[in-house]
Amino acid sequence: MTAPAQSTDLTAGTWAIDNAHSSISFSVRHLVVSKVRGTFGTFSGAITVAADGTPSASAEIDVASVHSGNDQRDAHLKAPDFFDVEKYPTATFVSTSVTPDGENYRLDGDFTLKGVTRPVSLALQFNGVNPGMGHGAVAGFEASVVLNRKDFGIDIDMPLDTGGAVVGDKVTITLSIEALRQD
C-alpha cells in the first residue's frame, strides 16, 4: 500500500480551521503528583498565506466550552477564580510572526485570556497538505506552548499543607489543527 499524496506547499489563500478534525487541549499539574487534562470544544480560526508566502494565524476560543471530564470542576473553571466566562467569554490569539526553528517553526503572537494580553511563542510543526476527500485541500499543524496561568490573571492559590498547590502554575496548551483551503 502506498502513502497518500502529500505536499509541503501551503499555497497562498485562507485556510479555515476544521473543528470536526481539530482539537485544543490543556494539562495542568494537580496535587503536585498528577495532571488534570481538558479540552475546549468550541473554537474558530484561520491561517492566511499572503501572495509572497508570508503566513499569519488567528483564533478564537469559547472559554465556556471547557471540558475536563468533571462537571463540578468545569463549573469552577468557568467561575471568577479561573476563567470568569461571564465577564471574559473568549480567548484569542493573533500571530505576529512565523519563523523557521530547525525542521519546524516558531509561531509568535498575542494571546488574550481573562482580559490579559501577553506575547507567546508556540512550537509549531507543519504536517503538510493533502488533497482532501473531495472538499478541497487540507493542511495539518501541531502546536504547543507552556503558559503560566498567573500571567493571565488566574492567580487562585490553593496551597497544600504538605507543600505545593492543588493547581500548578504551568499549563500546557496543545493544538492539533486541520485547516481547509477556502479559496
- Over the stretch 105-145, which tens digit does the pLDDT of each residue have? 999 999 999 999 999 999 999 998 888 777 788 999 999 99
| 139 sits in which H/E element | strand 138-148
In a domain, 4, yes or no: no
Cα 133 versus chain centre, distance: 25
Q: What is the CATH number of the domain that holds 137?
A: 2.40.128.110
8 assigned to some structural domain: no
Structure confidence at residue 166 (pLDDT): 62
Residue 82 lies in a domain: yes
CA 18 remoteness from chain centre: 13
Q: pLDDT truncated to tens, each residue of the chain (183 aa)? A: 444 445 557 788 899 999 999 999 998 876 656 688 999 999 999 999 888 888 899 999 999 999 999 999 899 999 998 999 999 999 999 999 999 898 899 999 999 999 999 999 999 999 988 887 777 889 999 999 999 888 988 887 776 567 655 666 788 999 999 999 997
Prediction pTM value: 0.88
| Helix (H/G/I), strand (E/B), else coil: 21 | helix
Q: Is residue 85 part of a domain?
A: yes
Query: Could you give the 3-state DSSP secondary structure of residue 64?
Result: helix
The answer to whether position 7 is within a domain reads no
Query: Is residue 1 included in any domain, yes or no?
Result: no
The answer to whether 172 and 27 are in contact (CB under 8 A) is yes
pLDDT of res. 11: 83
Q: Look at the chain and report how many structural domains it folds into.
A: 1
Question: Whole domain around residue 110: which residue ranges?
Answer: 13-181
Rounded to an integer, what distance in angstroms lies between the CA atom of residue 98 and that of residue 122?
Answer: 10
Q: Classify residue 159 as exposed, middle or buried by CB count within 10 Å of its CB (0-12, 13-18, 19+).
A: exposed
pLDDT at position 154 is: 80
Question: Dihedral, CA atoms, 63, 69, 73, 78, nearest 10 degrees?
Answer: 10
